[in-house]
Amino acid sequence: MQALFSSVLPVLGMIRGGSLKAIAIASDHRSELLPSVPTFAEGGLDYRTGTWFGLLAPAQTPPAIVDTLHRNDRRDAQRRARQGAHRRASAEVVADTPAQFRAFIRDETERLARVIRGRGSAGLRGKANRE
């Protein structure tokens, strides 16, 4: 295979075993599992992608319920992080506040909308590919 885009976990063994060579991580920072592999940004390319998960509630959920959900979810995520479950799955626990998560979703939506419209800096300028 000439090139492959994958999350770290499915290919980690092949990278460590030498059958695949990792050239860059598509994240804001280097992976703890592959600390010697630079980010695309370090190589001069603004290419960031990844998978994230979050707990969402309906817009009119009372703040007290949101706070309780956040507190319990954060406590559980931190417990799992201490146990190494997230690291073994190549995941990073962020545990932002609800306001920070809301801002993250807004920023990612805006960033990816620019990419989709072809104005982003992720190397997707020009005509769209059509089959």
Q: 39 pLDDT exceeds 70?
A: yes
Per-residue pLDDT tens over the stretch 83-103: 675 565 666 777 788 999 999
C-alpha dist (Å) from residue 73 to 13, 61, 80, 85, 100: 31, 16, 11, 15, 15
The predicted model gives 27-47 an average pLDDT of 90
How much is the pLDDT for 119?
Answer: 61
Least confident residue range of 71-75, 99-103, 114-118: 114-118
Provide the whole-model pTM.
Answer: 0.63
Say if residue 25 is exposed, middle or buried (CB neighbours under 10 Å; 0-12, 13-18, 19+).
buried
Task: Assign 126 a pLDDT band (cuts: 50, 70, 90).
Answer: very low
What are the angstrom distances between the C-alpha of 62 and each of 69, 70, 105, 107? 11, 13, 20, 24
In the chain, % of residues over pLDDT 70: 82
Q: What is the pLDDT of residue 130?
A: 38
Kindly tell me if the per-residue pLDDT of 9 is higher than 90: no
Give me the pLDDT at residue 2, please. Answer: 82
Contacts of 41 (CB under 8 A, 6+ apart): 28, 47, 48
